[in-house]
Copies of this chain bind each other. A is one copy, B any other.
Amino acid sequence: MTSIDADRFRETFETYSDIGRTDNDGLHRLTLSDADVRVRDQFVNDLESLGLDVRIDEIGNIFGRRAGTDPDAAPVLIGSHLDSQPYGGRFDGQLGVLSALETLRAFDEHDVEHRRPIELVNWTNEEGSRFKPALMGSGTFVGEFSVEETLARTDADGTTVEEALESAGYRGDAECGPREPIHSYLELHVEQGPVLEEHGQSVAVVDGIYGMSWLEATIEGTADHAGPSPMHSRRDALVAATDVVQGIRRLSNRYDDVVTTVGELTVEPGSINVIPSEVTFTADVRSYDDTIVAELVERVESELEAACAREGTEYELEEIWRIKHTEFAESVRTAAREAAEEAGVSHRSMVGGAGHDANYLTEVTDAGMLFVPSVDGRTHNEDEFTEWEDVVAGANTFAETTRRLSQ
């Protein structure tokens, strides 16, 4: 097998981490912001330095192609995303792109031959922080969103994706989408959870990703003065909502592999001495079993019904997103397991909890993922961290998996 150059990889990682680095050593690099444009420039420059054939598509996805010995063979696609969460970490996304870059550098250095072309990709707007939805670049690539609707998406200031691409100089000429059959897609990412760390392992071969539902609930009560309103006469939207949040937390008690989260909750009118009249909150429920996701959605509604009956309030519930579980290709998982064995890296199989560009890629090719550990499971914040030895173990596994897929 061909090992990557750990020192060169680290140097590159630090160079990229300087672009949009925060005071607390995190990364603030929202899609098509100045920092994102600078890191794209650096990336394109690095692709060109490797002699790759660079292609930018109409929504700003950047590809760099290394020819294989068989020009007619379907290519292997490898990569991830360079955009970050607001004040996010340096590992999420970036590590996948740079592992792919280092892989091609190592292949170059060691004259690794491969039959299939290998294409490195940086997907536009994976995070969905500036423009919604998340996974925009890969979702458009596979046809989940049309190019027109993607270009028309706006950020909080009303700037469209199209305008942002134009002013950044990243509205490319290439059509967005597969222009040929793709052999496989491989992505390395931080786990964003504690499983690998808890088990003391460096790499996970990802079996698939949870299915999930995003729900938004509104509870209507009656605003009243906090003093003169006896408890029995109240219709307190926050009392009902907090009852539901507790119920949603307890939902996971009955399953061994379910996660439920209430991440947003707002209170109207939000005054210290006024009984809340309206509370809006979200629920995020996930399972690898799609029928369980459906069951969880029903249970959230049952909790709302029960809590509102207790408090005399009313509710509305809307499902704003549902995504089926993703099962990654056995061919990629096998290649990855064998690569980890060959690289002598401690590894396990696991199911991922979060959506990644690889999810969408399953729609057009055999896709798979590798995870490396997240210390304390921290992610989407400046404390995000992965021990460098695990990063190297992951990158070596990634390089060897890529080599195997490209034969």
A residues whose Cβ falls under 8 Å from a Cβ of B = 191-195, 210, 212, 214, 222-231, 233, 236, 238-239, 241-243, 245-246, 249, 252, 258-267, 270-276, 282, 284, 286, 352-355, 374, 377-381
A267, chain B: closest CB distance, angstroms: 5
Known: A225-B379, A228-B354, A381-B223. A194 touches B233 (CB 8 A): yes
A239 CA / B212 CA spacing, docked (Å) = 20
A379 and B228 in contact, given A239-B245, A242-B242 (Cβ under 8 angstroms): yes
Known A-B contacts A227-B212, A243-B246; A264 and B271 likewise in contact (beta carbons under 8 Å): yes
Point out the residues of chain B lying under 8 angstroms from A192, CB to CB: 224-225, 227-229
Decide: B259 and A264 in contact? CB cutoff 8 A: no
Q: A354 near B272 (CB under 8 angstroms)?
A: no
Which A-B residue pairs are the 3 nearest by beta carbons?
A227-B353, A193-B228, A228-B353
Q: A238–B226 contact, CB under 8 A? A: no
CB atoms of A259 and B239 under 8 A apart: no
Number of copies of this kind of chain in the complex:
2
Q: Say how far A192's CB is from chain B's closest CB, in angstroms.
A: 4
Q: A192-B227, A236-B261, A259-B231 are in contact. Are A222 and B378 (CB under 8 A)?
A: yes
Residues of B within 8 A of A191 (CB): 228
Residue of B nearest to A273 (CB): B284
* Contact between B381 and A193, CB atoms less than 8 A apart: no
What's the minimum C-beta distance from A271 to chain B, rounded to whole angstroms? Answer: 5
Please name all residues of chain B whose beta carbon is closer than 8 Å to the beta carbon of A379 when the two chains form the complex. Answer: 224-225, 228
Q: Which of B195, B233, B266, B286 contacts A226 (CB 8 A)?
A: B286
A227 in contact with B194 given A239-B245, A245-B238 (CB within 8 Å): no
Closest to A247 in B: B242
**A193 contact set on B, CB distance < 8 A:** 224-225, 227-230, 233
Nearest chain B CB to A33 CB, angstrom units: 18
| Cα–Cα distance between A238 and B261 once the two chains are bound (Å) | 9
Q: In the complex, what distance in Å separates the CA atom of A242 from the CA atom of B245?
A: 7
Q: Which residues of B contact A272 (CB under 8 A)?
A: 214, 263-264, 282, 284
Min distance, Cβ A49 to any Cβ of chain B, angstroms: 34
Q: A222-B378, A261-B274 are in contact. List 14 more A-B contacts (CB 8 A).
A: A193-B233, A223-B378, A226-B259, A227-B259, A227-B353, A227-B354, A228-B352, A242-B245, A242-B246, A261-B273, A262-B276, A263-B272, A264-B272, A273-B284
Q: Which residue of B lies closest to A215 (CB)?
A: B272
Query: With a CB–CB cut-off of 8 A, which chain B residues contact A226?
Result: 259, 261, 263, 284, 286, 353
Contact partners of A233 in chain B: CB under 8 A? 193-194, 377
| A353: contacting residue among B225, B238, B378, CB under 8 A | B225
Most interface-central of A228, A230, A264, A267 (chain B CB within 10 A): A228
